[in-house]
C-alpha cells in the first residue's frame, strides 16, 4: 500500500513539473505538449497504440525467450568445454565491440521488414549479458561441492545438472533481469530502421507528422511496458531463487 | 545392514609442496585397517593436504612419495569424504542430498538404503526438508548419512564436527563411531578430546613432523570423562603446545 502511494506520489510530482514547465516556458505543443494533451492523445488513439504495442510486445517476448535459451545453452557449453572457452569466449567479446545499432540495417536487408529482424535485434542485445552472467555463475560453484562430487566419481554432465546449474540460478536471474530492460531497446532499434508496425514505427511516424503528443503517448506506453516486463521478470526470478532454497 | 567391502590399511609416505613451498617433509603415516586413525595438529601444518592427497584431490600438490593400500588396489572409487562444511545442496531436500552420489554417477538410487540411513541418523520426520530448514547438527547428520550412502570402505573426515557445539559434537562422535564401525577411518581434528575419544591410532602433526601416540587402551567410542581418556587428552594438548 505504501509502495503504491509512493509510486503515485512520484508520478504526480513528475506530471506536475512537466505541466509547470509547459505553462511557464510557453513552449508550443509541437515542441513539448502538456501532460493533458498527451493523455488525450493516448486515450483517443488507444486502439492504434494498442495494435502497435502488441507487435512490439511480441517481438520483445520472442526475442527475450530465444536470447535467454541461446545464452543458457552457450554458457553451459562454455562451462563444460575448455576448448570452447578458448575459441568462443574471445569471439563473444569481439562481437560486443560491434555496436548492435550498426547491425540493424543489415538485418533488415537480410530478413525484410517483418518481425524477425526486430526479434533478432532483441536477441542479440540480451545474448551477451545472459551468457556472461550465467557462465560466471557456472564457474563459481562452491569448491567443497565439486570436491565431494569428484570423490564420488560423478560424471561431468551429471555434476553440471545436479550441482553447477542449480548453484548458478541466482546468477542467471541477474542476467535475465538485465535482459528484460535491454530487450525492448533492441526491438525499438529494429523498428526504427525499417518497419510497418510497432511502437518504434509509430513514434517515428508521429514525429514525422508533427504529432508530438501521439509520439509521447507511444513513448509512455513503451516505458510502462518495459517497467512491467522488468517487474514481472524480477518477481519471477526472485520467486524461483527463493523457492529453490526453501 | 549393507554389504561393506573389506577395509584396507593405507600407508602414506613422502613430502609435499605447493608451487615450490614445502608443506611437510618425510611424513610416514599408517591408517589402520578398519580402525579410527586420528591426525591431530594445529592449523596450517598440512593435515588437510594429506587428506586431500588421500582423497585424490591433490592435483595442485607436488607429492613426492607414495600412497599404498594394503590390498594393492587403487583408492579412487573406494573413498568417501566428509568435510567441516556439510556441502549440502540448498536446492535439494534431505533425501535427495543423501542420494546425490548415485545421481552424480548416473546410477540407480537405492531408496530403501537411503530411507534406512535417514532413520539411523534420526531424521525420518525431516526427509523432505531443505537444508536451510535444519539446524547445524541436523545438517551434519545429513552429511553423515550421505557419506554412509556411498558404502565405501574408506572414510576421510576433515574436522567434520568442529563447527558444532560441545553437546551436539559429542553426540555426533558417538553416532559416527557406531555407523562407521568396521571402516578404515582417517579423522583430521584439532581437538585433543576428540582424538582421545575416537583414536585407535593417534598421530600428532607439527611443522617438525609426525609423532605417533599410544591411545587409551579401552575400545572406541570412549567415555569423555574416563581417567585414561582425560589423561590422553592432556598428553595430546601438551604435545600440541610443546612440539616445535
Contact B57 A246 (CB under 8 A): no
Q: In the Cβ-directed half-sphere of B85, how many Cα atoms lie within 13 Å?
A: 11
Q: How far is B163 from chain A (nearest CA, A)?
A: 16
**Across the beta sheet with B79-83, what order do the strands follow?**
B79-83, B154-158, B184-189, B36-41, B201-206, B209-213
Q: State the nearest Cα–Cα gap between A77 and chain B, in angstroms.
A: 18
DSSP 3-state helix, strand, coil percentages of chain B (rounded to 5)?
Answer: 35, 25, 40
B132/A162 Cβ within 8 A: no
Q: What is the pLDDT of residue A232?
A: 95
Alpha helix positions (H), chain B? 47-55, 94-98, 100-105, 111-120, 136-149, 166-179, 192-198, 227-242
For the stretch B63-120, pLDDT in tens is: 988 899 998 888 888 999 999 899 999 999 999 999 999 999 999 999 999 999 999 9
Residues in chain A with CB shorter than 8 Å from the CB of B52 are 147
Task: Tell me what pLDDT residue B102 has.
Answer: 95
Name every residue whose Cβ is closer than 8 Å to that of residue A4 and which is 6 or more positions away in sequence. none
Grid cell, residue A201, equals 514505427
pLDDT along chain B (244 residues), means of 10: 71 90 89 93 88 91 90 89 92 95 94 93 92 92 94 93 89 92 93 93 90 90 91 92 84
Domain ranges of chain B: 8-78+155-244, 87-151
User: Can you tell me the distance from the alpha carbon of B62 to that of A161, in angstroms, rounded to the nearest whole number?
Assistant: 32
Residue B219 has a pLDDT of 87
Beta strands in chain A (DSSP E): none
What is the Cα–Cα distance from A158 to A58, expressed in whole angstroms?
36
CA distance linking residue A72 with residue B177, whole number of Å: 45
Helix axes A46-80, A82-97, angle to 10 degrees: 140
Name the residue facing A150 among B57, B80, B130 (closest C-beta). B57
Tell me the C-alpha to C-alpha distance, in Å, between residue B69 and each of A227, A244, B51, B61. Answer: 63, 41, 14, 20
> Residue B103 and residue A155: Cβ atoms within 8 Å?
no
Cell matching residue A4: 503504491
Q: Is the pLDDT of residue A71 over 50?
A: yes
Compute the average pLDDT of residues A102-110: 87
With CA atoms as reference, report the closest residue to B122 among B132, B109, B107, B134. B134
Q: Give me the residues of A, 148-167, that contact B with CB < 8 A.
A: 148-155, 158-159, 162-163, 166-167
Q: What's the pLDDT score for residue A104?
A: 86
**Complex ipTM, two decimals?**
0.89
Confirm or reject contact between B60 and chain A (CB < 8 A): no
Stronger pLDDT, A206 or B4, i.e. the higher one: A206
- Asked if A173 and A166 touch (Cβ cutoff 8 Å), the reply is no
Q: Who among B89, B105, B133 is closest to A152 (CB)?
A: B105
**Nearest chain A Cα to B85, which residue?**
A144
Top-tier CATH class for A34-245: mainly alpha
d(CA B59, CA B99): 27
For residue B1, what pLDDT is reported? Answer: 44
pLDDT of residue B92: 95
- Residue B55 has its nearest CB partner, among A151, A154, A167, at A151
Q: What are phi and psi of A53, to 5 degrees?
A: -60, -40
> Which residue is closest to B128 within chain A, CA to CA?
A246
In this prediction, residue A122 carries a pLDDT of 93
Tell whether B133 is within 8 A of chain A (Cβ). Answer: yes
- Chain B nearest C-alpha distance from A154 (Å): 4
Question: Strand order of the sheet with strand B10-18?
Answer: B21-31, B10-18, B62-69
Residues of A within 8 A of B128 (CB-CB) are: none
Average pLDDT value over all residues in chain A: 92
Alpha-carbon span A48 to A206, nearest angstrom: 12
Does the pLDDT value for residue A74 go beyond 90? yes
B180/B225 Cα distance (integer angstroms) = 22
Look at residue B43 in the predicted model and tell me its pLDDT: 84
Contact B16, B63 (CB under 8 A): yes
Nearest CA in chain A to B58: A147
> Radius of gyration (Cα) for chain A, nearest Å?
22
- Check: CB of residue A151 under 8 Å from CB of residue B100: no
Residues of A in contact with B132 (CB under 8 A): 245-246
Each domain of chain A, given as residue ranges in start order, spans 34-245
Out of A102-116, A149-163, B184-198, B228-242, pick the least confident: A102-116
B chain contacts of residue A149, beta-carbon cutoff 8 Å: 100, 104
A91 close to B (CB below 8 A): no
Partners of B36 in beta bridges = B185
Q: What is the DSSP letter of B17?
A: E
Taking CB atoms and an 8 Å cutoff, what residues of chain A touch B90? 244-245
Question: What's the average model confidence in pLDDT over A28-48?
Answer: 90
∠ CA B25-B78-B72, nearest 5°, is: 65
Q: Is A81 left (phi over 0), alpha (psi -120 to 50) or beta?
A: beta
User: Which single residue is written with the C-alpha cell 540448498?
Assistant: B90
Beta carbons of B105 and A163 less than 8 Å apart = no
- B59 in A contact zone (CB under 8 Å): no
- Which CATH number is B8-78+155-244 given? 3.40.50.300
Task: Choose, out of A145, A151, A163, the residue to mutate when testing the contact with B (most B CBs < 10 Å).
Answer: A151
Amino acid at each position: 500500500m505504501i509502495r503504491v502511494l509512493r509510486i503515485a506520489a512520484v508520478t504526480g510530482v513528475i506530471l506536475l513539473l512537466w505541466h509547470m514547465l509547459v505553462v511557464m516556458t510557453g513552449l508550443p505543443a509541437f515542441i513539448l505538449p502538456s501532460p493533458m494533451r498527451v493523455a488525450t492523445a493516448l486515450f483517443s488513439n488507444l486502439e492504434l497504440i494498442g495494435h502497435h504495442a502488441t507487435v512490439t510486445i511480441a517481438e520483445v517476448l520472442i526475442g527475450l525467450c530465444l536470447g535467454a535459451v541461446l545464452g543458457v545453452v552457450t554458457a553451459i557449453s562454455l562451462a563444460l568445454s575448455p576448448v570452447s572457452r578458448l575459441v568462443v569466449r574471445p569471439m563473444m567479446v569481439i562481437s560486443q565491440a560491434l555496436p548492435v545499432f550498426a547491425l540493424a540495417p543489415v538485418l533488415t536487408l537480410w530478413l525484410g521488414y517483418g518481425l524477425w529482424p526486430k526479434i533478432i535485434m532483441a536477441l542479440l542485445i540480451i545474448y551477451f549479458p545472459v551468457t556472461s552472467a550465467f557462465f560466471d555463475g557456472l564457474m563459481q560453484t562452491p569448491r567443497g561441492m565439486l570436491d565431494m562430487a569428484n570423490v564420488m566419481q560423478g560424471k561431468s554432465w551429471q555434476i553440471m545438472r545436479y550441482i553447477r546449474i542449480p548453484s548458478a540460478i541466482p546468477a542467471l536471474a541477474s542476467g535475465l533481469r538485465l535482459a528484460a530492460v535491454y530487450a525492448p531497446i533492441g526491438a525499438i532499434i529494429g523498428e526504427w530502421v525499417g518497419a510497418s508496425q510497432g511502437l518504434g514505427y509509430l513514434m517515428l511516424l508521429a514525429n514525422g507528422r508533427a504529432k508530438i503528443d501521439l509520439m509521447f503517448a507511444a513513448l509512455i506506453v513503451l516505458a510502462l511496458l518495459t517497467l512491467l516486463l522488468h517487474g514481472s521478470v524480477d518477481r519471477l526470478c526472485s520467486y524461483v531463487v527463493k523457492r529453490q532454497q526453501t | 545392514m549393507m554389504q561393506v567391502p573389506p577395509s584396507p590399511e593405507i600407508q602414506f609416505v613422502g613430502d609435499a609442496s605447493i608451487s615450490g613451498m614445502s608443506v611437510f617433509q618425510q611424513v610416514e603415516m599408517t591408517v589402520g585397517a578398519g580402525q579410527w586413525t586420528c591426525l591431530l595438529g594445529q592449523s596450517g601444518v598440512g593435515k588437510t593436504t594429506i587428506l586431500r592427497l588421500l582423497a585424490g584431490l591433490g592435483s595442485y600438490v607436488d607429492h613426492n612419495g607414495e600412497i599404498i593400500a594394503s590390498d594393492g588396489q587403487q583408492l579412487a572409487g573406494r573413498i568417501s569424504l566428509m568435510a567441516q562444511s556439510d556441502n549440502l545442496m540448498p536446492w535439494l531436500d534431505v533425501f535427495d542430498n543423501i542420494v546425490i552420489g548415485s545421481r552424480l554417477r548416473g546410477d540407480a538410487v537405492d531408496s530403501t538404503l537411503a530411507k534406512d540411513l535417514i532413520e539411523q541418523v534420526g531424521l525420518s520426520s525431516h526427509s523432505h526438508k531443505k537444508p536451510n530448514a535444519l539446524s547445524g547438527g541436523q545438517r551434519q547428520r545429513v552429511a553423515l548419512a550421505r557419506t554412509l550412502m556411498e558404502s565405501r570402505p574408506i572414510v576421510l573426515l576433515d574436522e567434520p564436527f568442529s563447527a558444532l557445539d560441545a553437546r551436539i559434537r559429542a553426540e555426533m562422535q558417538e553416532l559416527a563411531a557406531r555407523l562407521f564401525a568396521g571402516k578404515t577411518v582417517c579423522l583430521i581434528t584439532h581437538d585433543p578430546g576428540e582424538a582421545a575419544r575416537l583414536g585407535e591410532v593417534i598421530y600428532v602433526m607439527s611443522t617438525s613432523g609426525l609423532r605417533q601416540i599410544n591411545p587409551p587402551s579401552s575400545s572406541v567410542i570412549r567415555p569423555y570423562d574416563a581417567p585414561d581418556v582425560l589423561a590422553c587428552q592432556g598428553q595430546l594438548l601438551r604435545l600440541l603446545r610443546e612440539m616445535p
